[in-house]
Amino acid sequence: MQQTIGRQPAFGRQQAIGFAILFLSATLSAPSQADTVSPQDCRSIQDDRRRLACYDNQFGLPVELLSEDNVLQTRVLEQNGEPVSDLEVRLKSEAQLSDNRFVIIPHKQNYLLPATYVDDPNGSPSVNALSAPQEQRLDHTEVKYQISLKIPVYNDFLLDNATLWLGYTQLSLWQAYNSDASAPFRETNYEPEVFWTKPTQWNLLGTTLEEVSVGLVHQSNGRGEPLSRSWNRVYANFIFARNNWAFALKPWYRLPEEEDDDDNPDIDDYLGYADFLATYKLKGNEWGDYVLSAKVRNNFKHDDNHTSTTLGLSFPLPGRLNGYIEYVDGYGETLIDYNHRNQRIGVGFILNDWY
């Protein structure tokens, strides 16, 4: 059965209002403060980094320090004379916040790009020519946003300091400026997952393996045929850090499906079998730091090679939001476009970056 975009103003407005409420609530909320302790032994230290390291050595990472202009997230501290990476700071802060029921912990990036431009919007998404729906009237300019959250389910699961998590990520493309088609949501991907993490602190080739995780993830677009897309994977994630650098290698294995139920049997040919992510934090100003990121996929095939790259730059702004610029070139930005090459650039705001 063919499906085309019809007039659906109510759906678009309701989903937009719901996202706005969630995004603003996450933006305006702040972590609640933990019980304070008297830091008399550290107050006399003049150097900011050493004073914060003193607090960390004596009391861990107290929650009240986490809300002070993101000081802990944006500086490289020193602990017993050794540098502490920004990634390690984030992991410690998550551990401190995991028992606070009034705090939503970010998982992946949370951002809103009110203006993006895609050079070739996929007006006829299909797995093959026979299943192609009627050509859709798509604007080159659309809104893109992502919401990504996680909650700890069980601490010290299987091993000491290991945590079992539930995560949820939602990515949407919204034809907000396409009034001729009643401004529909072109694509929304839903990505629930369950995963287990274990901090490691192993030194490897001049870097530190900060964390290892394994998980099970489902991703789908919640649509009927012929536009339905979905897949299930098991994955491992290895996160390394060195000072202002962070690296992640995330290989996965797609769980096989029955041929009759598989909406995208050749998805591995386009999205490959792993993500590689690199980020670098550059010192900014009193508002925060700049973060450069690059995520790369490749299917490692000589005869039909497909590479996908996402480049990001977040930059400091007053308040809790940062500015964000993103460039995408390749396949699988969303599931509906897994076999269609996109080139997109967008600008907007980001609540939290990768690390």
* Backbone phi, psi, residue 21, to 5°: -65, -45
Q: Locate tokens 């020193």: which residue? A: 78
Task: Give yes or no: 29 in active site.
Answer: no
Cα separation, 326 vs 344, in Å, equals 8
Task: Give yes or no: 140 in active site.
Answer: no
Catalytic, out of 98, 126, 182, 218: 218
Catalytic, out of 98, 220, 293, 308: 220
> CA dihedral in degrees (331, 171, 210, 268; nearest 10)?
-30
CB 91 within 8 A of CB 84: no
Cα–Cα distance list, 84 to 8, 62, 73, 131, 154 (Å): 51, 16, 11, 53, 27
Q: What angle do CA 133, 138, 139 make, to 5 degrees?
A: 170
Instruction: Choose among 97, 190, 94, 177: nearest CA to 146.
Output: 190
**Which positions are annotated as active-site residues?**
218, 220
